[in-house]
Amino acid sequence: AQSVTQLGSHVSVSEGALVLLRCNYSSSVPPYLFWYVQYPNQGLQLLLKYTSAATLVKGINGFEAEFKKSETSFHLTKPSAHMSDAAEYFCAVSDLGGGNKLTFGTGTQLKVEL
């Protein structure tokens, strides 16, 4: 069975500071990993995905994530936070053998302060 753990349900950073959102996964097969962002009253938007190619994945809006198999981690980072980054972020794992079922973490609410 797959699972995702997101450490920190709430993260607060200053505008211009580094954003680091943590995600650890558990999977019995090589995983596909995703980060989605959800703005208030909206659906989920794909930020980036890891599909067993390059371990450093670049996404939209300046975000990137690094797949570290030895640490079973897929942390999301952005060098400089912007006010518009305030949203909820979800990490998810997919076991393609299970038909692309996504298993989500519980989410991290990012707050960006002036």
Partner 1 sequence: EAGVVQSPRYKIIEKKQPVAFWCNPISGHNTLYWYRQNLGQGPELLIRYENEEAVDDSQLPKDRFSAERLKGVDSTLKIQPAELGDSAVYLCASSLEGRDTQYFGPGTRLTVL
Shortest approach of partner 1 to residue 6 CB, angstroms?
8
| Contact call for residue 36 and partner 1 (CB under 8 A) | yes
- The answer to whether 68 and 56 have CB atoms below 8 angstroms apart is no
Where does residue 62 fall: left (phi above 0), alpha (psi -120 to 50 degrees), or beta otherwise?
Answer: left
What backbone phi and psi angles, to 5 degrees, belong to 71? Answer: -105, 0
| Contact call for residue 104 and partner 1 (CB under 8 A) | yes
| Contact call for residue 46 and partner 1 (CB under 8 A) | yes
**Per the structure block, which two tokens stand in for 41?**
């009253």
| Contact call for residue 40 and partner 1 (CB under 8 A) | no
Binding footprint of partner 1 on the chain (CB under 8 A): 4, 9, 34, 36, 41-46, 49, 90, 92, 96, 99-102, 104-107
